[in-house]
Structure 1
Amino acid sequence: MTAALCLVVSAQAVEAQEPGAPVVLAAATTGTPAERAQATLAQMTQDEKLTLLKGYFGTDFPPAKFEAPKEARNGSAGYVPGIPRLGIPPQWQADAGIGVATQGGAAEKRPRTALPSGLATAASWDPELAFAAGKMIGSEARADGFNVLLGGSVNLMREPRNGRNFEYTGEDPLLAGIMAGAQIAGVQSNQIISTVKHFAVNDQETDRNDGNAIVEEGALRMSDLLAFQIAIERGEPGSVMCAYNRVGGLHACEQPFLLNQVLRNEWRFPGYVMSDWGAAHSTAAAANAGLDQESGYGLQRADWFSADKLGKAVAAGEISQAQIDLMVTRILQSMYAHGLVDNPVSEGHPIDFAANRAVSQRGAEAGMVLLKNERDVLPLAATARRIAIIGGHADKGVLSGGGSSQVYPDGTNAVPGIKPTSWPGPVVFYPSSPLEELRKLLPGVQIDYAEGTADPAAAVRLAAQADVVLVFGTQWASESIDVPLSLAEGQDALIDAVAGANPNTVVVLQTGGPVLMPWVDKVPAIIEAWYPGRAGGAAIARILTGAANPSGHLPATFPRSLDQLPHPGDPRKGDIVYDEGAAVGYKWFDKHGHEPLFPFGHGLSYTTFEIDHLVVTPEGEGLVAMVEVTNTGKRAGAEVVQVYVSGMGWEAPRRLGGFERVELASGETRQLDIHVDPRVLATWFTGRPGWTHPAGAYTVSAGHSSRELDDSVTIELPPSFLPPEWRPAKS
């Protein structure tokens, strides 16, 4: 049903409602979600309609003397009252994309299962794993009585120092959109709503409330917006969360280009738009621009979508009644479409933490990236009789990221008291010790631990006595801050000194994103473990020992130095001009001939793979790349076969065109059909809105990373044009 038709039906239905007519409860309505929404809207009073347009913070907030509504779920991020007279349930909203996060003080904390970071999930390049991860955290949300999960985070890594990069899915729009979309679909398989956020260009935390992102429209369409477009197509989220920042001068939650033109008119998004908590800045301007629901009253007090302000705006003709009805209809339609009415949630259901930790551990193992492994130092050899573990609190647990996405473990914070202990902290280590897990897997091996930074000399002495040294490097990141691309508190110097004392030094990184590595040439092996989640210690131990074969590949480029970045200086305030356009991440490096520390798509294994016999044929407006991959090593493993495309006049030499993760036994060969989305072959010209690719020769390459391509072919393609509303057919 089109928006215009919805408005006509809405007006007719409201006029047809007789005073005193029998009430039809929401659950008793029939038809499509759109038809059911219209039937319910026709019975609603104006006060009831306005009730659905304002959300509250779900937890008491003492600094602001705010008491959450008594019907809210304890520790939750948000609450929108329902309409009991009509059987419309409340919306109980919980953070976030890594697990069920709780807000407030100690009394509100709910111990729940943390996934690895969003970047770790993206590093698996495995949509099925992302779906399973989303399904798991969605099940915990439902068990807690939440029917809206504020996840689906897909902002591109334009700024590698962004403190929220760990929540997101990397630097490439195709990979980011596919992985986020799969996780959204997994969450919603529990008959609850997932959001996709933060719409749009919310790519740094510095000046996040007022910073003005400026990107040329065509470049924006081919980068940040394409990531959202793909995530929405694949995940079909019930809601979009608009961002704090400005885009093109207007706050994102009152930017009609984003919310009305792109999201509604072109992408045909049927759900509703909620604001980030405090991201609304007006009443009539925001409502007319496409914002449906203001969220988080209590954390902020502007109260732009209060019944009083909305009512006055309608009376003054600043907002039409038809617009109010449309806003309500979108919310109701999404609630019907995703089961909130027909499968209502309730609190207090048991959670199988053991099973859910297993899901988290599988994700952590699949997302860890073996960056370097000279002399086959890993996996840890059975002949290593003495291992030294240094730093990173590896004797206690594994690090997690902070802010609103912080998931609290079933168990205590393994390393309490690290500052900051309040917002944007606390710093939380999950009680999953890599040291203890290694001792379980390596019985009879002497494993000693030194804290490291407090007494580097003692750590160096311990390292000199060991057969192998494992140094754990950590970088804490969080919402509301941006972070340097470095390891804090002297960790780089510690790694350098330990490597000087023992040539068999392995570095295990737990970081929110890329970091610089001044010691990279002095250590033979490096593993990027990201924030590995609730069972991260066990996952790290299995990767180090070879009980699990590493298969992760980088979803973001690791630079050698800051001067390789488009904007080497500190994150900016005010107008943030992204003049690199669509050349984000590896595209920038390729365009300017920079040699990265580790390229996008890079990831090693304990076995080896060969990719060849590439054949490319047209498929609709896109392509299909048929390629063979063989495990040429001596043990089973998984490879991510990546297909890149090159055309004329693009923002960069190549773009990721498609990928597939495949598990192979030793000696096994598999043929893959990797489909290339036609939008990846095209350019968006502002003067001709849509996806255009001219006739000519296009090069298609298959390989192991953006810089390691095994086979290439050239194909001649006719000209093609796809309109803005084009989307691929559902498979």
Structure 2
Amino acid sequence: MRVDDRGFGILLKLTGLLLAGSVAVAAVAQEPTASGARARANALVARMTIDEKIELVHGLFPPMATGKTREELIPSAGHVDGIPRLGIPTTRQSDASLGVANQVEQRKGDTATALPSSLATAASFDPAVARAGGAMIGAEARAKRFNILLAGGVNLTRDPWGGRNFEYLGEDPLLAGTLGGAHIAGVQSNAIVSTVKHWALNPQETGRSILDARIGEAGLRMSDLLAFEIAIEQGRPGAVMCAYNKVGGDWACENRFLLTDVLKRDWGYPGWVMSDWGAVHSTVKAANAGLDQESGQELDRAIYFGAPLKVAVEAGQVPMARLDDMVARYLTGLIATGAFDKAMPAKPLPIPYAAHARVAQDAIEAGMVLLRNEGALLPLSPSVKRIAVIGGRADIGVLSGGGSSQVRSVGGVALEIPLPADHPAASFTRITYHKSVPLAAIRALAPQARVTFDDGRDPARAAAVAKAADVAIVFATQWTTEAADADDLSLPGRQDALVEAVAAAQPKTVAMLETGGPVLMPWVQKVPAIVEAWYPGQRGGEAIANILFGQVNPSGRLPITFPASADQAPRPTPPGRERMAKSAAAAAANPGAPQANALTGWTVDYPEGADVGYRWYEKKGQRPLYPFGHGLSYTQFAYRNPVLTGGTRLSLTVDVVNTGKRAGADVPQMYVARDGGGHPMRLAAFERVTLKPGETRRVTLIANPRIVADYDTTLPGWRIAGGRYRVALARDATDRTIVRTAELRPTTMKP
């Protein structure tokens, strides 16, 4: 994808604003080369004792820390002491996918700016939005004295019910990798480390710590691994975090194919691999496979990389050279990102929260998706006299996703609901609403209207309120979380009945969805306007009102397919759910039984391989409810004079014209497939274009060569077959209105 100079200039200005003031990195230092950083790291390792080396390859989990520390232990995700005599800094780690996390208020009173869910950022189709969010989070992390952020989630959505879908960037490897890389680069512009995670094939939360994910190598390379490859190339993260699950029979954190063969050998990755918290299962196998650091050691069954690793090195089971490499990679990641040389503040520093809130609001306003707008019901007229706002707790705030990404947002928590004790996420998350109130924001933009609220618990009462108004806005929510997949794709709590009742009573009904991903909509043909607001972050209420009243023209595009029915997806329900439910019931019935009720793992096959998301739907000839890339606007756009060229690459140039009466943003998308190859079309390029009414811009989309290629395990590497290729200039993954063909010459590329 090409970024024009004007967009880059705006990005630089925005980044400068984010980093201004006392939390600023005054200027982003010139990053050292990977080879230069490694040379410094090697020199430091040569001066270290074996005990000092061992200290750096395992870290504390502060809430449960039992090990000794010479430094202040800030309640957070992780901590590794430095080595003062060598100038090696202490590292403090925080969860930070959507902001500097403080899930269950480990740090009393500490709040942070909460971005909308990553799916909202992905829906912007704009790397500048992703980078701005990363830069903001990194600035706040530095001010709070953290120098490693557990951010950069790029796992692809393979199933619409995934509990952690909201934390990731959708189903397409080019989109996820590009925006993931931009977010990582933004974080690291503050001279701190971002991870990229969870390496790899971790799309399911049900049984994530025991399942074995199975997929062919070519399919894996062309989907999930490609998203990581693009993110690593563009973001250059200091660390990679390996996942909980097994992949092909080996735990991800002791999987030689993933850690050494692909990441370090094929891609030449110079940084370090840290484990997820509680994801280490061995000492010798994990170290020799390529794991460099055990994180959150108290959550593992043993401290595998402490004393046992020293014994293994001294016994020759793990070569000293491997230990040296583990330490050197850790130091390389710190040096290359600037985290090694830029000291952390001695105490927390002030943060420009008002400016950062604008970043969060800009992100959701760019990522909210107008799914349906029959009769141009939206934007609402400023002359509307009576508005019914119904359901979704819209009178108190907006919903947030659960898990390690949960941010205690600036302005306070509107509501927290504890989970049942037996919920897998009960110990580290709650159902939380940010205190950004849609009802108040709607009233502020419609001061002359009579705005009535009904909580939606009684559909009949809500219908009566809707009928008495000129327009009804019904809010529907679906809470999802890390550690548990969604029960199904229906809106929970009889909300479908609520939407049906309101729509039946009021022909001018708007459905506003706050969800963790796709949901089914049995009422879709009865509701003229539908907006997907995702988990909209700490300024979500204001953003929702701006979209409703046309203060902002919606421009988001779906980064994930919305199925028409659950059976359209490759797996209608999470594999292993019934086994887990039976095991839990048996354990509850016999709480004293030791291992009798222990749950063993199972295999999850991914036969769709590289055909993830919209590719699966095309391959199976299925029509989804709303396709990947779909999104409407309050203006109209035309594509004129498309010119496709081939040869060594596919290049598509087109005039994008705003033919409507409002300024707005469009996202022309380029899909590619080899003519006669039998494969679904793949997103090969995209660009977000903002235009004034009547404005035209000539845009050039250049296909990413690895998207055009297939992975050939016999090379091994990427192979572009020579011949004719079909290219669609499209508004979504199903649009074939404009299709051109061009010839490509054959070529191969390294893995």
Q: Deviations over 1:109-141 (max 9, x none)?
A: 621001010111000000011101100001000
1:93 partner letter: Q
2:403 partner letter: G
Q: Give the Cα–Cα distance (whole angstroms) in 2 for the partners of residues 68 and 121 of structure 1.
A: 40
Q: 1:31 to 1:247 in 2, by over 3 A?
A: closer
Counterpart in the other structure of 2:326: 327
| Cα distance, 1:515 vs structure 2 | 0.6
| Cα distance, 1:416 vs structure 2 | 3.0
Counterpart in the other structure of 1:720: 747
8 Å CA contact 2:206, 2:574 repeated in 1: no
8 Å CA contact 1:475, 1:512 repeated in 2: yes
8 Å CA contact 1:284, 1:318 repeated in 2: yes
Q: 1:68 to 1:637 in 2, by over 3 A?
A: farther
Q: 1:587 to 1:72 in 2, by over 3 A?
A: farther
The partner residue of 1:558 within 562, 569, 586 is 562
8 Å CA contact 2:485, 2:574 repeated in 1: no
Q: 1:86 to 1:160 in 2, by over 3 A?
A: same
Q: 1:160 to 1:31 in 2, by over 3 A?
A: closer
Q: 1:80 to 1:564 in 2, by over 3 A?
A: same
Q: Secondary structure at the match of 1:355?
A: helix
Q: Secondary structure at the match of 2:325?
A: helix
Q: Secondary structure at the match of 2:513?
A: strand
Matched, 1:34 2:38: yes
Matched, 1:315 2:314: yes
Q: How does 1:95-244 map to 2 (within 5 A)?
A: 95-103=95-103, 105=105, 107-108=107-108, 110-244=110-244
Q: Give the Cα–Cα distance (whole angstroms) in 1 for the partners of residues 323 and 416 of structure 2.
A: 48
Counterpart in the other structure of 1:17: none
Q: 1:465 to 1:70 in 2, by over 3 A?
A: farther
Q: Deviations over 1:493-548 (max 9, x none)?
A: 11011111001110000001111111111100000000011101001110011000
Q: 1:131 to 1:466 in 2, by over 3 A?
A: same
Q: Give the Cα–Cα distance (whole angstroms) in 1 for the partners of residues 547 and 574 of structure 2.
A: 35
Counterpart in the other structure of 1:265: 265
- Once the two structures are overlaid, the 10-residue window that deviates more, 140-149 or 622-631, is 622-631
Q: Deviations over 1:636-681 (max 9, x none)?
A: 0000110111114657320001000010001111001112111111
Matched, 1:60 2:87: no
Q: Give the Cα–Cα distance (whole angstroms) in 2 for the partners of residues 529 and 158 of structure 1.
A: 21
Q: Secondary structure at the match of 1:428?
A: strand
| Cα distance, 1:300 vs structure 2 | 3.1
Counterpart in the other structure of 1:627: 654
Q: Give the Cα–Cα distance (whole angstroms) in 2 for the partners of residues 437 and 265 of structure 1.
A: 53
Q: Give the Cα–Cα distance (whole angstroms) in 1 for the partners of residues 287 and 630 of structure 2.
A: 44
1:665 partner letter: K
Q: How does 1:399-418 map to 2 (within 5 A)?
A: 399-417=399-417
Matched, 1:282 2:286: no
2:367 partner letter: G
Q: How does 1:176-575 map to 2 (within 5 A)?
A: 176-306=176-306, 308-346=307-345, 347-417=347-417, 419=419, 422-453=426-457, 455-483=458-486, 484-572=488-576, 574-575=602-603
Q: 1:49 to 1:649 in 2, by over 3 A?
A: farther
8 Å CA contact 2:649, 2:744 repeated in 1: no
Counterpart in the other structure of 2:685: 658
Q: Give the Cα–Cα distance (whole angstroms) in 2 for the partners of residues 286 and 376 of structure 1.
A: 58
| Cα distance, 1:378 vs structure 2 | 0.4
Q: Give the Cα–Cα distance (whole angstroms) in 1 for the partners of residues 110 and 323 of structure 2.
A: 36
Q: 1:478 to 1:496 in 2, by over 3 A?
A: same
| Cα distance, 1:106 vs structure 2 | 5.4
8 Å CA contact 2:195, 2:240 repeated in 1: yes
Counterpart in the other structure of 1:636: 663
What RMSD over aligned residues (CA atoms) do the two structures have, in Å?
Answer: 1.8
Between the two proteins, what is the percent identity of the paired residues? Answer: 53
Q: Secondary structure at the match of 1:497?
A: helix
Matched, 1:612 2:611: no
Q: Give the Cα–Cα distance (whole angstroms) in 2 for the partners of residues 319 and 577 of structure 1.
A: 33
Q: Give the Cα–Cα distance (whole angstroms) in 2 for the partners of residues 145 and 650 of structure 1.
A: 53
The alignment's TM-score, normalised by the length of structure 1, stands at 0.92
2:151 partner letter: G
8 Å CA contact 1:99, 1:115 repeated in 2: yes
Q: Deviations over 1:202-227 (max 9, x none)?
A: 01001101111101111111001001
Q: Deviations over 1:610-652 (max 9, x none)?
A: 1132212247x43221111100111100001101111146573
- Once the two structures are overlaid, the 10-residue window that deviates more, 688-697 or 284-293, is 688-697
Q: 1:397 to 1:651 in 2, by over 3 A?
A: farther
Q: 1:698 to 1:293 in 2, by over 3 A?
A: same
| Cα distance, 1:311 vs structure 2 | 1.1
Q: Give the Cα–Cα distance (whole angstroms) in 2 for the partners of residues 282 and 669 of structure 1.
A: 59
Q: 1:633 to 1:643 in 2, by over 3 A?
A: same
1:626 partner letter: T
8 Å CA contact 1:188, 1:194 repeated in 2: yes
Q: Secondary structure at the match of 1:569?
A: coil
Counterpart in the other structure of 1:673: 700
Q: Secondary structure at the match of 1:688?
A: coil
Q: Give the Cα–Cα distance (whole angstroms) in 2 for the partners of residues 400 and 104 of structure 1.
A: 14
The partner residue of 1:695 within 722, 727, 739 is 722
| Cα distance, 1:301 vs structure 2 | 4.1
1:342 partner letter: D
Q: Give the Cα–Cα distance (whole angstroms) in 1 for the partners of residues 232 and 572 of structure 2.
A: 32
1:678 partner letter: P
Q: Deviations over 1:30-73 (max 9, x none)?
A: 9921221122112111111111100111x323xxx858847355
Q: Secondary structure at the match of 2:650?
A: strand
8 Å CA contact 1:471, 1:495 repeated in 2: yes
Q: Secondary structure at the match of 2:657?
A: strand
Q: 1:284 to 1:267 in 2, by over 3 A?
A: same
1:615 partner letter: V
Q: Give the Cα–Cα distance (whole angstroms) in 2 for the partners of residues 83 and 202 of structure 1.
A: 34
1:357 partner letter: A
8 Å CA contact 1:412, 1:430 repeated in 2: yes
Matched, 1:586 2:614: yes
The partner residue of 2:604 within 576, 582, 594 is 576
8 Å CA contact 1:259, 1:291 repeated in 2: yes
Q: 1:33 to 1:195 in 2, by over 3 A?
A: same
Q: Secondary structure at the match of 1:615?
A: strand
Matched, 1:647 2:674: yes
8 Å CA contact 2:115, 2:363 repeated in 1: yes
Q: Secondary structure at the match of 1:43?
A: coil
- Which ranges in structure 1 are unaligned for 5 or more consecutive residues? 1-29, 725-731
Q: Give the Cα–Cα distance (whole angstroms) in 2 for the partners of residues 107 and 197 of structure 1.
A: 25
Q: Deviations over 1:327-356 (max 9, x none)?
A: 111111111111122211123110111110
Q: Give the Cα–Cα distance (whole angstroms) in 1 for the partners of residues 410 and 629 of structure 2.
A: 34
Q: 1:107 to 1:78 in 2, by over 3 A?
A: closer
Q: Secondary structure at the match of 2:295?
A: strand
Counterpart in the other structure of 2:17: none
8 Å CA contact 1:184, 1:235 repeated in 2: yes
